[in-house]
Chain A
Amino acid sequence: MKIPKDRVRFNVGGRIFETTSTTLANAGRNSFFGALFSENWSLKQPNSDSFSNCEFFIDRNPDCFSVLLDLLRTGDLNIPTNVPERNLYREASFYGLLDHVRSAKWGQFDGNRLRHSRSVTGRAPGDGTAIRAGPDGGCCVAHGSVVHVYDWIMEEHPPLNLDYQRVNDVAWVDSENIIISACERLGRGDGGMGLFSKSTGELRYKFQVCHENQVKSFTAGALCTSSDFKIFSSCKGRSNEYGIGVWDQVTGKQIDFFYESPGWSLGDADKLQWLNGSNCLLVATLFPRKDNCYISMLDFRDKRMVWSWSDFGAPITVDEKRVRDTIAMEDSNAICVVNEYEDLGFMDLRMNGGSVKWSSRSRMMKGKLSDEPCYPKLALHGGQLFSSMDDCISVFCGPDWVLTSRLRRDYGGSICDFSIGGDRLFALHSEENVFDVWETPPPPIS
């Protein structure tokens, strides 16, 4: 039998492995194997006879090598019980294969196929404020005045804080950088927003707000980033300078400010959402932060509120229709809202001043509110709508938003926040300091 020309023999920590350079090419140029086989390192292609006797020694763990070699061969990750995950990740990191492992570990996000992968317990006291999924499978959790950061392996990095001020919101700028918005402390010019390095936890930049060419201290609220490298935040200044501030992600400089007009609310906003298609920012201030709800869409180019809705002046009888969270769905030109009974309501984005059309779908929750209720939250991902209520997350699909899945864990109490990103869903519980990681399993073998 003729030996394939590209056959390679390794001695890894004393164990012999045979494979082909074709298999190893799956590792890519920016990996140990990619460099090893590059022409610079003049790894001669010996003649078949002498080649079969020639082996490359690698001073590493053979068990892990075996798993990783299999990953390069099949694209599937199978970790035997005798290999600790951490060891495997370390070895993968040595070979430059960590990205391969991560993308093999879980599949492309699908709300209807999610499996609970693990729960992570934290040590921080009190209720969590927010959880935010990072772009590469990690997440960060805001607790009081500290933000805990986890990478996709769920290893914790140094926690972040902005002068230990109460954190209002966190957001990922990219997989390496996180912004925190915090309350201003009376008498000191602290608060505002800071940009942190994920891996070291150091404060890299502090954002400023200027009013009439003067730097003013401020309380930053909800955060949001846009694909054209902007950062938005709701801002409350000391001298009634309320509104939405805009910064450039690259320079960190403030580039715009949308001032709140009388009778409307922007600076107190609970939620900001950038809408790529219409080049607008959705700003929502909701009950119970204010007595009324104010939802608006801002066009910064001509400083215009292009769409707005409020329940101001609505009759008291519709108290149960109080909007608790909202999300814009550009693909269906609608704004979805949710009340405290998890009823979904919809409004047409193209028509200003319309009213909410409530769907009478989910009354099953009514009457069994828990003692310490968590108000519903909404998220949209890949055409699927997610809504959290108590200890459960519902998944809605299709043009009529039919309930298709329910995610529930018995431990930890109500879900106070959840977030989707990096093909994972993170749900933060309010009773116990724990968050769940949900992910889609890799696709079936055939």
Chain B
Amino acid sequence: MSNQKKRNFQIDAFKHRVVVDPKYADKTWKILEHAIHEIYNHNASGLSFEELYRNAYNMVLHKFGEKLYNGLVATMTSHLKEISKSTEAAQGDSFLEELNRKWNDHNKALQMIRDILMYMDRTYIPSVHKTPVHELGLNLWRDTIIHSIKIQARLQNTLLELVHRERTGEVIDRGLMRNIVKMLMDLGSSVYQEDFEKPFLEVSAEFYSCESQKFIECCDCGDYLKKAEKRLNEEIERVTHYLDSKSEVKITNVVEKEMIANHMLRLVHMENSGLVNMLLDDKFEDLGRMYNLFRRVPDGLSTIREVMTSHLRETGKQLVTDPERLKDPVEFVQCLLDEKDKYDSIISNAFNNDKTFQNALNSSFEYFINLNARSPEFISLFVDDKLRKGLKGVSEEDVEIILDKVMMLFRYLQEKDVFEKYYKQHLAKRLLSGKTVSDDAERSLIVKLKTECGYQFTSKLEGMFTDMKTSQDTMQGFYASHPELGDGPTLVVQVLTTGSWPTQPGVTCNLPAEMSALCEKFRSYYLGTHTGRRLSWQTNMGTADIKAMFGKGQKHELNVSTYQMCVLMLFNNADRLGYKEIEQATEIPTADLKRCLQSMACVKGKNVLRKEPMSKDIGEEDAFFVNDKFTSKFYKVKIGTVVAQKESEPEKQETRQRVEEDRKPQIEAAIVRIMKSRRVLDHNNIIAEVTKQLQSRFLANPTEIKKRIESLIERDFLERDSVDRKLYRYLA
């Protein structure tokens, strides 16, 4: 160690402590100044830390703190000025390297100087509120070097130039960049922001403004988005490599604004490649990219959503109003389901299952499904179709999926009561004709409807199932108590509870004698076991299997409706019958009779009767014969009635009217419920509340509500307020 010589000197100084040597401070400072020079000149190995520390300590102790501090500032400043000159002199690319090297030197020197002056840093500086040594070193570096006229602009331009070169595909020294940027951050966040970040953001905005203009002229929407995404990722990557992490939000904001926000509408509506085309072509990847990019800018997602919604409403509207589509209800509903599936998968695959998009989808469907008043009927028909035959060979899970989808469409319906009406009719037909494929599927759907709309909605439907079950038991009981009936015609009766079923009252016909005898037996059996009930026959809903022999001894079993059976049985006793005769004998209503004759005489392959003249329609003067020439490949022949699967126009009107009739008591009940609790309410509020209460079943018509209110006033449930005519009062 070389402190032997210096120690002598030190002891010298120590002696003079008592009598204060006027040169003491200068001498001590010279030692420290020399040491600072040596440190900057990479020559510190010969210095004694203990000696320097003690000298600095003594200076502070002897009240020379200010001299020490000022000396430090002056010495450091002069060194930094030299560094500044040599950095300025650096040529071209070596400028940054030189700056970085000098910065590292300065940091190391600063640390050593601080070590020596630690005592001053700890005691003198806080008491006089001066800048601590480390911070002082950084401030001097900032003012003498970074903010010197010849360096400040050059540094900024060099950094920005490097970023630009990297953006145009060149490889730059990222390590060096990171060090320099780190230096700016060490000098204080304001230095980083003012000297680099702000100009960087400005230049970037300009760069991306130009680039986006160029891209949008020559790229389609998908490609443009790909490029924007790439640029965005590049900037994020740049931040992680050599910028302050706080800059990430700022630079991405710039890219988002220049590349996306400024071109948003143009991108979305770009011809042949915009959002609508992406939706049509199921371009999940492009859509996902658009979603992720647009999500970053204000109004981005709402723009996508609006375009999607209006497109969806437009196509939906076309779909439900297309007269071609209306011809096949099953196809119609299938189309709706396909459309829903398509958008569901777009939202889940590309739009991150965004709730707002799901809501937009739902509201669009709700909008256009209800544009077509026949939607409830068609959905019911779709279910009917599926439950009749469509579900054969389909696994239980798949059945559930289909039913769930139907329920989803059901949810969109405003007129749920209309659906209920049709569903009841279709279910009744299925149950009575024994056409339902899966009891489980039927019940599953009922459960779903129940959870959706409540007990009240499905109680009648459930009643129908109960009736079916009870009827089976009743029939077993009937045959058990009449063993003599073993070899006659077999009667199967289904006892339907009035009200649960869509029955038409009073339509009846004359049954053949054999049958009516049997029916009488059943009636007395049934009424015997269930007193106080009334049975009436719904002949329009039954079916019959009858055996028939045609010319050449051909035997067939014919599956016909009850009406058809009545007609055919007449031919057991006659060869020829006129229309009038048949009508007289059976008393079948005209429309039904014509339809049933038509199906037996005019349909090829099913024509068990022959008609004169051989026209398509049934006339009142026509005559009918057994068709001896009837042939069929099958032993069993099913003779369907000519029924329109869809409702005909007058039937539709009728159903409509029934629905309207059913709504009246519901509206009235709602009004009374509301008024009972509110006592007094004005017209507009009552309309609003009634509509809200009935929403789950149907959309109540305000005029109808008004009519109901008037009717209730007439019946003294409500009265108008004598002063304010718009107010209603509840009368208990």
> B119 contacts which of A43, A94, A197 (Cβ < 8 Å)?
A94
Is B711 interfacial (CB-CB < 8 Å)? no
Contact B123 A38, beta carbon cutoff 8 Å = no
Whole-angstrom distance between the Cβ of B107 and the nearest chain A Cβ: 10
Q: Which residue of B lies closest to A30 (CB)?
A: B118
User: Is B3 part of the contact surface with A, judged by Cβ < 8 Å?
Assistant: yes
Q: How extensive is the interface on chain B, given as a class?
A: 20 to 34
Are B50 and A96 interface neighbours, CB within 8 A?
Answer: no
Say whether A36 faces chain B, with CB atoms less than 8 Å apart: yes
CB distance A41 to B126 under 8 Å? no
Asked if B128 is an interface residue, CB under 8 A from chain A, the answer is yes
Interface code A42-72, partner B: CB below 8 Å = 1, 0 otherwise?
1100000000001011110000000000000
Interface readout for B1-25 with A: 1 if CB under 8 Å, 0 if not?
1010001001100100000000000
B45 touches A42 (CB 8 A): yes
A40 touches B108 (CB 8 A): yes
Q: Which chain B residues border A197 with CB–CB below 8 Å? A: 127, 129
Q: Is A365 an interface residue (CB 8 A)?
A: no
Cα-based distance from A38 to B116 in the complex (angstroms): 12
Select from chain A the residue with minimum beta-carbon distance to B50: A58
Evaluate contact between A200 and B111: CB separation under 8 angstroms.
no
- Asked whether A333 is an interface residue with its Cβ less than 8 Å from the other chain, the reply is no
Q: How far apart are the CA atoms of A393 and B140 in the complex, in Å?
A: 54
Interface SS of B by simple majority: helix
Chain B residue with Cβ nearest A93:
B123
Contact in complex: A199, B10 (CB < 8 Å): no
Shortest distance in angstroms between B120's beta carbon and chain A's nearest beta carbon? 12
Q: Cβ of B50 and Cβ of A56 under 8 Å apart?
A: yes
Interface assignment of A402: CB less than 8 Å from any CB of chain B: no
**Complex alpha-carbon distance, A391 and B231, angstroms:** 76
Interface of chain B residues 125 through 151 with chain A (CB within 8 A): 126-129
Question: A22-45 toward B: CB 8 Å interface, digit per residue (1/0)?
Answer: 000000001110011010111100
Inter-chain contact A41/B118, CB cutoff 8 Å: no
Does A59 lie within 8 Å of B50, measured CB to CB?
A: yes
Residues of the B chain whose Cβ atoms lie less than 8 Å from the Cβ of A54: 1
Task: Give chain B nearest CB distance to A69 CB in angstroms.
Answer: 16
Interface bracket on A: 20 to 34
A38 to B14, CA, bound (A): 27
Find out whether the CB atom of A96 lies under 8 angstroms from the CB atom of B112: no
CB distance from A252 to the nearest CB of B (A): 14
Whether the Cβ atoms of A176 and B126 lie closer than 8 Å is yes
B126→A32 contact, CB < 8 A: no
In angstroms, Cα B125 to Cα A200, docked, is: 12
Q: Which residues of A contact B123 (CB under 8 A)?
A: 93
Alpha-carbon separation in the docked complex, A32 to B48 (Å): 13
**B119 cross-chain contacts in A, Cβ below 8 A:** 93-94, 96
Tell me if B115 and A35 are in contact (CB < 8 A): yes
CB-based nearest B residue for A94: B57
Beta-carbon nearest neighbor of B111 in chain A? A40
Does B544 belong to the interface (CB within 8 Å)?
no
**C-beta contact mask, A311-347 vs B, less than 8 Å → 1, else 0?**
0000000000000000000000000000000000000
Residue of A nearest to B10 (CB): A59
The residue from B54, B116, B122 contacting A59, defined by CB atoms under 8 A apart: B54
Given the known A-B contacts A36-B49, A59-B54, are A96 and B108 also in contact in the complex, defined by CB atoms under 8 Å? no
A32 touching B53, Cβ below 8 Å: yes
Q: In the assembled complex, which residues on chain A have CB atoms less than 8 Å from the CB atom of B122?
A: 30, 93, 96
A54 to chain B, nearest CB (A): 7
B449 at the interface (CB under 8 A from A): no
A200 close to B127 (CB less than 8 A)? yes
- Shortest C-beta distance, B258 to chain A (Å), equals 38
Point out the residues of chain B lying under 8 angstroms from A31, CB to CB. Answer: 118
Could you say which of A36, A57, A204 has the most chain B C-beta atoms within 10 Å of its C-beta? A57
B41-68 vs A: 1/0 string, CB under 8 Å? 0001100011001100100000000000
Of chain B, the residue at the smallest CB distance from A32 is B53
Which residue, B53, B112, B128, has most C-beta atoms of chain A within 10 A? B53
Cα(A54)–Cα(B2), bound, Å: 12
Bound complex: CA A176 to CA B125 (Å): 12
A57/B7 in contact, CB under 8 A:
yes
**Chain A residue contacts of B50, Cβ below 8 A:** 36, 56-59
Mark interface residues in B191-226 (1 if CB within 8 Å of A CB, else 0).
Answer: 000000000000000000000000000000000000
Given the known interface contacts A32-B53, A36-B50, A57-B7, the answer about A41 and B127 at a Cβ–Cβ threshold of 8 Å is: no
A365, B204: Cα distance in complex, Å:
79
Closest Cβ of chain A to B113, distance in Å, is 10
Please report the C-alpha to C-alpha distance between residue A38 and residue B50 in the assembled complex, in whole angstroms: 13
Cβ < 8 Å to B, chain A residues 220-278 = none
Residue of chain A at shortest CB distance from B116: A35
B215-261, CB < 8 A from A: none
| A120–B11 CA distance with the chains assembled, in angstroms | 39
Pair A35/B127 contact, Cβ less than 8 Å: no
Chain B nearest CB, measured from A156 CB (Å): 15
Instruction: Give the chain B neighbours of A56 by CB distance below 8 A.
Output: 1, 50
Docked-complex contact B115 and A38, CB < 8 angstroms: yes
Chain A residues within an 8 Å CB radius of B44: 40-42
Please, which residues of chain B bring their CB within 8 A of the CB of A93?
119, 122-123
From known contacts A42-B45, A59-B14, infer whether A32 and B127 are also in contact, taking CB-CB under 8 Å. Answer: no
Chain A hits for B108, CB < 8 A: 40
Q: Which of A67-91 contact B (CB under 8 A)?
A: none
Q: Which residues of A contact B14 (CB under 8 A)?
A: 59
- Nearest B residue to A43 via CB reads B49
Given the complex, which residues of A lie within 8 Å of B54, measured CB to CB? 58-59
Contacts of B10 in A (CB 8 A): 59
Inter-chain CA distance A38–B123, complex, in Å, is 22
How many angstroms between the C-alpha atoms of A223 and B111 in the bound complex? 41
Given contacts A56-B50, A96-B122, contact A200 B112 (CB under 8 A): no
Contact of B115 among A41, A94, A199 (CB under 8 A): A41
- Can you report 30 A-B residue pairs in the complex whose CB atoms are below 8 A from each other? A31-B118, A32-B53, A35-B49, A35-B53, A40-B111, A41-B44, A41-B115, A42-B44, A42-B45, A43-B49, A54-B1, A56-B1, A57-B3, A57-B7, A58-B50, A58-B54, A59-B10, A59-B11, A59-B14, A59-B50, A93-B119, A93-B122, A94-B57, A94-B119, A96-B118, A96-B122, A176-B126, A199-B127, A200-B128, A204-B129
- 4 A-B pairs with the lowest CB-CB distances in the bound complex, closest first: A35-B115, A199-B127, A40-B112, A41-B49
